[in-house]
Amino acid sequence: MNLSPLGNSSRRNLLKWGLVGLGTAALATVPSTALARSSRYLKPLTFTADDIGILNFALFLEELEATFYVLALQSGKITDRKEYDYLKAIGKHEATHVKFLREVLGYNATFRSRDLSYSASGFRAVLKDRDTILNTAVALEDTGVHAYNGAGPSLKDPTYILAAGSIVSVEARHSAGVRGLLGRPATQKPSEDSVPKENLVPSLNPFNGRAYDELYTPKQIIAIVASLNIVNNPINGALVA
């Protein structure tokens, strides 16, 4: 575990990195050590089936979201002022969630932000244009909602479940907000659900349909994240098995 004495926040580092942009030429300016480290070894992300594992899992999702928004803002594809302001505010929230979860986890965090290896080609695809960026934001936020919901009943610590609750409704507001920018309804039609009704875990989903945000298992969430092709790290552990 690397506890750097430096006081700078992950947010600031993300911004600093984001300044190099995502173009092919710009990628050449990413420090060669980072690329070398990534190509030599990808740290597996391990999520245990307990509160700590769930918080690490939440941290992983928040890291993805926070990084996505930094890159989305740097992409130059979001030119509308209102849309830019929304993504900026949402990105700040996600960075705050990252910071909070790292504070809560402390030494129990199983990976550092810099252990995450992102796929440049995957990010290029989701940052292709304004529509793709906003729809990816919706997909990430909806995934976050279903992930926090799904993990909620497994949490044992009362403060953790309240914290998860205080985060998940903000994720839902994000989704609805970006959906509004796209002219999409705030709630998900069943056809938009990443996990079809027949694959839902019945005990976790007493209700389903547009009027409900179904509970997805961490394993189902990992499959959704994998489909975005933006993370290279292998993922394992009892929580996602």
* Cα distances (Å, whole numbers) of residue 2 to 14, 106, 122, 206, 231: 18, 11, 28, 43, 21
Q: Which is nearer to another protein, 126 or 172 (CB)?
A: 172
User: Which of 153, 226, 234, 238: binder of another protein (CB under 8 A)?
Assistant: 153
Taking Cα atoms as reference points, which of 149, 138, 236 lies closest to residue 201? Answer: 149
Q: Residue 236: beta bridge partners?
A: 46
Applying CB under 8 A, the span of 91-99, 126-134, 190-198, 220-228 interacting with another protein comes to 91-99
Residue with Cβ nearer another protein (7 or 196)? 7
Does 217 interact with another protein (rule: CB under 8 A)?
no
Is 222 a binder of another protein (CB under 8 A)?
A: no
Taking alpha carbons only, the member of 185, 182, 187, 184 closest to residue 78 is 182
* Dist CA 140 CA 142 (whole Å): 6
Task: Report if residue 171 touches another protein, rule: CB under 8 A.
Answer: yes
Among 72, 214, 222, 240, binds another protein (CB under 8 A): 214
Regarding 152 and contact with another protein (CB under 8 A), the answer is yes
> How far is Cα 58 from Cα 124, in angstroms, rounded to an integer?
24
Residues 155 and 162: their CA atoms lie apart, in Å, by 10
Tell me, rounded to whole angstroms, the distance of Cα 46 from its chain centroid.
16
User: What separation in angstroms does the CA of 183 have from each of 26, 51, 83, 175, 223?
Assistant: 33, 37, 12, 12, 27
Encoded one letter per residue, x for contact with another protein by CB under 8 A and - for no contact, window 7-26 reads xxxx--xx--x---------
For another protein, the binding residue among 65, 83, 115, 193 (CB under 8 A) is: 115
| 128 contacts another protein (rule: CB under 8 A) | no
DSSP state string for 19-41? TT-SSHHHHTTS-HHHHHHHHH-
Among 25, 79, 81, 183, binds another protein (CB under 8 A): 183
Q: Which of 120, 182, 223, 224 contacts another protein by CB under 8 A? A: 120
Q: How far apart are CA 6 and CA 4, in angstroms?
A: 5
Does 173 engage in binding with another protein (CB under 8 A)?
Answer: yes
Q: Which of 74, 175, 217, 220 binds another protein (CB under 8 A)?
A: 175
The distance of closest approach from Cβ of residue 80 to another protein in the complex, given in angstroms and rounded to an integer, is 13
| 207 part of the interface to another protein, by CB under 8 A | yes
- Cα–Cα distance for residue pair 31/114, rounded to 1 Å: 13
Residue 4 binding another protein, by CB under 8 A: yes
126 part of the interface to another protein, by CB under 8 A: no
